[in-house]
Structure 1
Amino acid sequence: MESMSTLTRRTLLVGGLALTALGAGSARLVDPFTLGVASGDPTPDGVVLWTRLAPVPLAEDGMGGMPSRPVEVKWELAEDERFRRVVRRGTEWARPELGHSVHVDVAGLESGHEYFYRFATDGHLSRTGRTRTAPSPWTLTTPLTMAFASCAQYEHGYFTAYRRLAEDEPDLVLHLGDYQYEYEAGVHVAPNGNVRGVDGPRTTTLANYRQRYAQYKSDADLQAAHAVAPWSVVWDDHEVDDNWAGMVYSKPEKPQPDFPRRRTAAFQAYYENMPIRQAPHGLDLQLYRRIRWGRLATFHMLDTRQYRDDQPCGDGIKVCDERLEPQRTILGPEQESWLLGGFRDSVARWDVLGNQVFFSQYDHTRGPVQETNLDAWDGYAADRDRVVAGFSSVRNAVVLTGDVHAAWGVDIKERWDDPSSRTVGTELAGTSITSGGDGSEDYPETPEWFAENPHIKYFNNRRGYVRTHLTADGFRADFRGLDHVSRPGAEVSTKASFLIEDRVPGLNPL
């Protein structure tokens, strides 16, 4: 496979021919493809293609410099990067009420196949993206290289990790939340200081969210990661507001005027900027769904924000008996039933949860008293117990996690407080793309953490992502880290590698 840089050069070389093929005339708009292209949620015969027109991406009204009218956009999907073997083409309308975004749900494609796509409008041609369909439903022997990432605060560093992820050329990318942050400039400062600035105020309106997404998506490293492979995305809290829970604003001591309207605006902007099929319906957007990769893997993409109970004991990291109440839920009854039913019906070799917040128990203090993070699954212990019990229905359970701004590897125990109890699954928590700044190789307190939490097998505090390789026999995880994000261009290295063997839950160092 050719590198994405080579792909880009070839695209430029054939750009004139491409414009003719797509029927574009002379340009009138400034280049509207400043936010790149993306694809997502592959099926055995289809994929979603995305772009959003924004010749002036940071316009304060959130409209990206576009006129207040629909604009015709042509698209093509081909088997080769020169677009000599075009298999689908069509026309969509980029409409102002959707931020001039375009979502093309292409169907009728060949399963397990690589494709290339692009858009054109008003004499301008987008960059070329690469995507692929999922294998046929009963395929088991086709391996999968999948990368997952989370937590990319623009101010805290350069998105070099996205560039390095793109250079790994995965087949599929999962983004597990905190794609963007809602803060105004200078509010949430990295330990080593903020290195870039954000435009606009704290995001509370649709215009604010659109402008903030546009600034993030203007980043060339992020665009490269989107262009290399299809993504499947879920949100966490910062796509709306820090630590929001259902219809509860995160800081009740500082009332938020009309939080339902803010949530509606955030959901709308999320749809406009992501390659997903499901559009919001006012206050609701069903984001939980499954991505099936033949019989090799089923990815259960979760939403642990929209349906959860409010965090117990006022949130935070503290001792809290309320977290153990059996009725408490982080998934909501409907999503929990959907997940457990999916476990029971699964024929996949690997059942993988695309999950936002730390799943495993994590005691922050020495001694018999447990001090836990109430915004994570520890605040909803009974719901977690029900999910762990459901692991008995699947062959191999793996939980992928974002949010925690560090890399963790964890053996999921049948009973958290009994280190000798069975290991029933494995959690891989990825570090952040930038959030938290440069980080370090370790924390001084790490030995104490391990002593109190013997099921935690690995920790690293650098920025980066996780690259995985799935086969019928094993699930390999490479924790990829950068030594700095406060300056662009850092190299990436594999900080640690682990193998999960078929029917043998738990981490084996490589």
Structure 2
Amino acid sequence: MLLTLLVSVALGALAGATELFDRNLAYASPFTNAIHLSHDTRSLQKRHVEFVKRQSQLDDTQSSDGLTDEHYPTFYGGDFSSSPFIYNGGINFTHSVASGDPLDTSVLLWTRAVPIGSQLPDQSIPVCVTFRIFNNANLSGKPVDSGSAFTTYDVDFTLKVEAKNLKPDTHYSFQFADCTNPKTVSPVGTTRTISSPDTAAAKVNGGKPLTFAVFSCSRYQDGWFNAYGVAAHNTSAEIFVHLGDYIYESLGNGAKIGRQTLGRELATIADYRLRLNQYRTDVSLRDAHQKAPWITVCDILLRRDDHEVADQAWKAGTADSNDTAVGCSFSPSGACFTDRKLAAVRAYHEWMPIRQVDPDDKLRIWRNFQIGKLLDLTMLDTRQYDRDITDLYYNTVINSIADVTNRSLMGPEQESWFYNTLDQSKERGAIWRVVGQQIVFTQLNESDAFDVDAWDGYRANRNRILDHLYDNKISNTLILSGDSHANWVSDLAHPNDTTTYDPVTGNGAIGVEFAGTAVTSSSPFGSGVSPANADKQSQVLVGVNTDLQWSEGSYRGFFTLTLNTTHANATYFAMRNISNANLDGFASATFIVKAGANKLSRPVAGGSVLAGVLKNQG
């Protein structure tokens, strides 16, 4: 009778425990309101409850005497040593901690809690993890928010929770722990919230300049991710922005530098999980996630560049897979595009501190962050959302249709939303409009050849954006770009328009583009190209491209963007060596944009750079 009563009490508590599954957003990710594509936490709870019932139901001839299982204590108040409720064999926080997608009163916190020991949990046994977030580095006093959540093999033992009730524009420290052994703790992470939209520009970030670190294109087999470490340890960056190609789907031989990729070309969720797992073992990437919140400009939170799924992506396929019987055979894995995309999106959401996307609007992930009256940070999806066909290598007609009026890189819905967002940003009095997107916006004539997988393949769409900026006198627009594996800094103007725009003075421009090189991926100027040989190519490029003011193609690295009410400062960092783990980098060039000028300050980069070539030296 007593056993029956206690089991009843325990199961009653279990019935209310769905919130412990629900609090882990990895189960709900990547889709809002789409249980059939996500994990139904009610089903997970039911699986858990049924397992408890099965273990607890004893007939008259059975006894629980001698049945002890120290790996599975009850979590809900009863003492049933033979009833496995949560795992108690010890956990390992294998990939440290991370945070991301900061709002003014909340931020997402992430970790991975992997069971250890010889007796791993049954699929019905959750791992329980607690989190606490504090407004001080010592983790002292009462936490601002805290709680517990479950994780299981269903989501690769990842854990993603939203810390709420935070203050705007505030720095925090956080830590995870094992529910069953509070002495087992994760490393301490640091994060922050952004300012509320109505905060005066001069008061954003406590009145201090706000710095972003901007990255793209991290190919594991090409080198060590030292750029992330330099940003984390040697700059004042407080928010990290990634502009695509956080992982690569392909294989490559990095064994000679200790960077051999595991698995095969990515197709299934197991493939994508394995690759994300391997990437996140890099020490510099680990430190960068632990140091500051990330806004990943990927087709999951905000957008994704193509390699997070596969190369040369558009709305209905990639270079080696699409949704036809023939198209599926192009992929070495035999996977079709939609299956591959859904697997990539789900795994990415498990492994990254990012919010869910809307499955009812073509996985829309474009959106806007209002960071006080200092800036709007507008993230676009220029890879997958309703994007017309791109260069797939075997189709050679894209250049001939690049000027077609109704051809779109963004799709009409996103394009209309973008114009409205720019207008609203101006109307609300924000000083800067910072636009994060994957691919180079400015025209780049490379020996009479154009990269039609970038904006040069969608010229009418680009012209409409420039027209909107000019016609509506929208100032202080800064476009951030990745993907190209080289550095480019340009005034924004209509291509080849030397009537409105003067490339010497910058007069007539409507904004500036900062395009950054890769963290590790090879240069388009040639794999391993020397600075001297890269500069020879850059000299030609700045000469033939009207808007292009600086080109650099040898060094791997990143750049920071620092904003205050009067200036924007972009500093480019170059890594001297990515063949081993180190923090050996230097600032190669610095650019200033004055608020209201809509052009790079002259002389550009102060007239001198430590790498690359300026259009006008001195």
TM-score (normalizing by structure 1): 0.86
Render the CA deviation track for 1:439-490: whole Å, top value 9, x for unaligned: 5433422222112102111122211110121001010000011111112214
Match of 1:128 among 167, 188, 199: 188
Match of 1:39 among 88, 96, 99: 99
Relative distance call for 1:35 and 1:470 in structure 2 (3 A) is same
Equivalent in the alignment of 1:381: 459
Alignment of 1:25-424 (within 5 A): 28-31=89-92, 33-54=93-114, 68-69=123-124, 70-85=126-141, 86-121=143-178, 122-123=180-181, 124-137=184-197, 138-141=199-202, 142=207, 143-167=209-233, 168-186=235-253, 196-234=259-297, 235-251=304-320, 255-256=330-331, 257-279=335-357, 281=359, 284-307=362-385, 308-311=387-390, 320-346=399-425, 347-365=429-447, 370-392=448-470, 393=472, 394-418=474-498, 420-421=500-501, 422-424=508-510
Relative distance call for 1:26 and 1:265 in structure 2 (3 A) is closer
TM-score (normalizing by structure 2): 0.72
Conserved in 2, the CA contact under 8 Å of 1:296 and 1:348?
A: yes
Conserved in 1, the CA contact under 8 Å of 2:226 and 2:583?
A: yes
Relative distance call for 1:439 and 1:53 in structure 2 (3 A) is farther
1 CA distance for matches of 2:91 and 2:150?
18
2 CA distance for matches of 1:176 and 1:198?
22
Conserved in 2, the CA contact under 8 Å of 1:152 and 1:432?
A: yes
2 CA distance for matches of 1:319 and 1:258?
23
Say how many residue pairs are matched: 469
Shift of 1:284: 4.7
2 CA distance for matches of 1:290 and 1:96?
34
Conserved in 2, the CA contact under 8 Å of 1:320 and 1:371?
A: no
Conserved in 1, the CA contact under 8 Å of 2:263 and 2:271?
A: yes
Shift of 1:258: 2.2
Higher RCO structure (Cα 8 Å, ≥6 apart): 1
Conserved in 2, the CA contact under 8 Å of 1:278 and 1:286?
A: no
Q: Kindly provide the amino acid, as one letter, of the partner of residue 306 in structure 1.
A: Q
Shift of 1:96: 3.4
Shift of 1:316: 8.4
2 CA distance for matches of 1:132 and 1:287?
22
- Consecutive unaligned residues of structure 2, counting only runs of 5 or more, are 1-85, 298-303, 322-326, 502-507, 607-618
- Consecutive unaligned residues of structure 1, counting only runs of 5 or more, are 1-24, 57-64
2 CA distance for matches of 1:457 and 1:493?
21
- Aligned partner of residue 456 in structure 2, secondary structure: helix
Match of 2:548 among 431, 456, 471: 456
RMSD over aligned Cα atoms: 2.5
Q: Kindly provide the amino acid, as one letter, of the partner of residue 93 in structure 1.
A: F
Render the CA deviation track for 1:476-507: whole Å, top value 9, x for unaligned: 00001111111221411110001011011222
Q: Kindly provide the amino acid, as one letter, of the partner of residue 413 in structure 1.
A: A
Render the CA deviation track for 1:307-327: whole Å, top value 9, x for unaligned: 211115857899822011111
Conserved in 2, the CA contact under 8 Å of 1:35 and 1:217?
A: yes
Conserved in 2, the CA contact under 8 Å of 1:439 and 1:463?
A: no
Q: Radius of gyration: which is bigger?
A: 2
2 CA distance for matches of 1:289 and 1:185?
34
Shift of 1:105: 1.9
2 CA distance for matches of 1:340 and 1:203?
36
2 CA distance for matches of 1:451 and 1:213?
41
- Aligned partner of residue 306 in structure 2, secondary structure: coil
Relative distance call for 1:333 and 1:28 in structure 2 (3 A) is same
- Aligned partner of residue 201 in structure 2, secondary structure: coil
2 CA distance for matches of 1:289 and 1:104?
21
Relative distance call for 1:416 and 1:46 in structure 2 (3 A) is farther
- Aligned partner of residue 326 in structure 1, secondary structure: coil
Q: Which has more strand, going by share of residues?
A: 1
Shift of 1:39: 1.1
2 CA distance for matches of 1:355 and 1:298?
14
1 CA distance for matches of 2:129 and 2:590?
44
Percent identity over the alignment is: 32
Shift of 1:75: 0.5
